[in-house]
Amino acid sequence: LPEPAARKPRAGRFGSRFGDTVHRALAMVLRDPALEVERAVRRASRHTGLAEHLDEAAADVVRALGALRAERITGPVGPTLQVEYPVAGAGEAGLLLSGYIDLVSTTIDHVHVIDFKTDAPPEGGVEDAYPSYAAQVRGYGRLLTATRIAGERRLRMGLLFTGDGLIRWL
């Protein structure tokens, strides 16, 4: 079997290991809502090598889960909720684009595309503070639209900053 692709680097507030740990722990808890956040963070940190800031990572996961609950985007993972959702398709000038959407949630009326961010939350507009992140999420939305996964449902794209637990909708 081929080796899995390397994970993208994550800057985050406490470095890339912190960001990867928060992402992994969030995915674990969304897959298994009975899993305690602290246990998920410990498991994730064994994979990422994160040895410090574990309490901050757990707090980030708790804030992110609260933001998702406030939007009624809840687990477990299944037909209407996916984490690390693979997407691929043609971009501008026919360039092949591929990636993984951190979270895709569907309802009768909406498709939510959410990217988790452990960077410092923006003070102003998210598109001004993090234009590449906004472009990335918009690109994911275009791929879902092009592949007709969204269908007639309204697409909602957002960046969930785990540092403050707020989703910035684009």
pLDDT, tens only, 3-19: 444 455 545 689 999 99
**pLDDT of res. 8:** 52
> In the sheet that 81-90 helps form, which strands lie side by side, from edge to edge?
81-90, 96-106, 110-117, 154-161, 166-169
**pLDDT of res. 11:** 54
* Inter-residue contact 34 to 127 (CB < 8 Å): no
**pLDDT of res. 12:** 66
Virtual torsion, Cα 4, 58, 102, 29, nearest 10 deg:
80
Which range of 11-15, 62-66, 108-112, 125-129 scores highest in mean pLDDT? It is 62-66
**pLDDT of res. 115:** 97
Q: Percent of the chain, pLDDT > 90? A: 75
**pLDDT of res. 51:** 96
**pLDDT of res. 5:** 45
Average pLDDT over residues 15-29: 95
> What phi and psi, each to the nearest 5 degrees, are found at residue 35?
-70, 130
Question: Any residues with CB less than 8 A from the CB of 116 and at least 6 apart, and which?
Answer: 22, 23, 26, 64, 102, 103, 160, 162
Given a cut of 90, is residue 147 above it in pLDDT? no
Omega before residue 131 within 30° of 0, cis:
no
Q: Percent of the chain, pLDDT > 70? A: 93
Given a cut of 90, is residue 150 above it in pLDDT? no
* Inter-residue contact 20 to 118 (CB < 8 Å): no
**pLDDT of res. 3:** 41
Q: Which sign does the torsion angle of CA 25, 83, 108, 117 carry? A: positive
> What phi and psi, each to the nearest 5 degrees, are found at residue 134?
-60, -40
Tell me how far apart the alpha carbons of residues 38 and 58 are, in angstroms, rounded to a whole number. 6
pTM above 0.95, yes or no: no
Tell me how far apart the alpha carbons of residues 2 and 161 are, in angstroms, rounded to a whole number. 33
